[in-house]
Amino acid sequence: MTRALFISLFSCLIAINQASLINRCDLAKLLHQEDLDGFEGYSVSDWLCLAFVESHFNMSKVNEYADGSSDYGIFQINSHYWCNDYQSHSENTCHVACQELLSPNLLATIHCAKKIVSRAGGMKNWAEWSIHCAGRPLSYWVTGCHMG
């Protein structure tokens, strides 16, 4: 029994260790530096809410779907439309390899997210943002963060 508990705990620690999490305020500062505050009418708070509802700030998150596509990175960008996973058909609108969307520097991810938001629908292209963030007060997402 003790051995099974130890193995279970060890497996959880490995899974947690493999996640590349970014601090909310560090992400806010980066988004501000990359001119996302006000981009296409969306605030840094919108972007933070999106990152939280999609990945819980996990830059290395990958979600696989039955249709063969996958969502990648902190904003969960889909391989069918936006990036090339070299496994399934992709429109690759962002002209980027999906693996680049898992990079901790987030520049490829931010560049691609800007393309997505610039399209019709804006952030509504992310269903989770529409459900959990749209039309809600979001200023608390930047509380305590010094972006200047």
Per-residue pLDDT at 9 exceeds 80:
no
Would you say residue 29 lies in a domain? yes
Mean pLDDT along residues 104-114: 97
* Cβ-Cβ contacts under 8 Å for 119 (sequence gap 6 or more): 125
Tell me which DSSP letter residue 68 carries.
S
Would you say residue 16 lies in a domain? no
Q: What is the pLDDT of residue 115?
A: 97
Q: What is the pLDDT of residue 18?
A: 61
Residues involved in catalysis:
54, 71
Question: Which position has the token pair 């601090």?
Answer: 23
Per-residue pLDDT at 4 exceeds 80:
no
Which burial class, exposed, middle or buried, applies to 5 when counting CB atoms under 10 A from its CB (0-12, 13-18, 19+)?
A: exposed
- Domain range for 59 is 24-142
* Cβ-Cβ contacts under 8 Å for 137 (sequence gap 6 or more): none
What tens digit of pLDDT does each residue of 32-54 get? 999 999 999 999 999 999 999 99
Q: Name the domain count of the chain.
A: 1
> Sorting pLDDT into bands at 50, 70 and 90, what band is 118?
very high
Query: Rounded to 5 degrees, what angle do the CA atoms 92, 98, 104 make?
Result: 135
pTM, rounded to two decimals: 0.86
* % of the chain beyond a pLDDT of 70: 88
Would you say residue 1 lies in a domain? no
Would you say residue 63 lies in a domain? yes
Would you say residue 94 lies in a domain? yes
Mean pLDDT along residues 9-19: 46
Alpha-carbon distance of 114 to 123, in angstroms, equals 10
Per-residue pLDDT at 117 exceeds 80:
yes
Would you say residue 132 lies in a domain? yes
Q: What is the pLDDT of residue 19?
A: 79
Residue 112: give its domain's CATH number. Answer: 1.10.530.10
The helix/strand/coil state of 140 is helix
Would you say residue 148 lies in a domain? no
Would you say residue 14 lies in a domain? no
Alpha-carbon distance of 133 to 138, in angstroms, equals 7
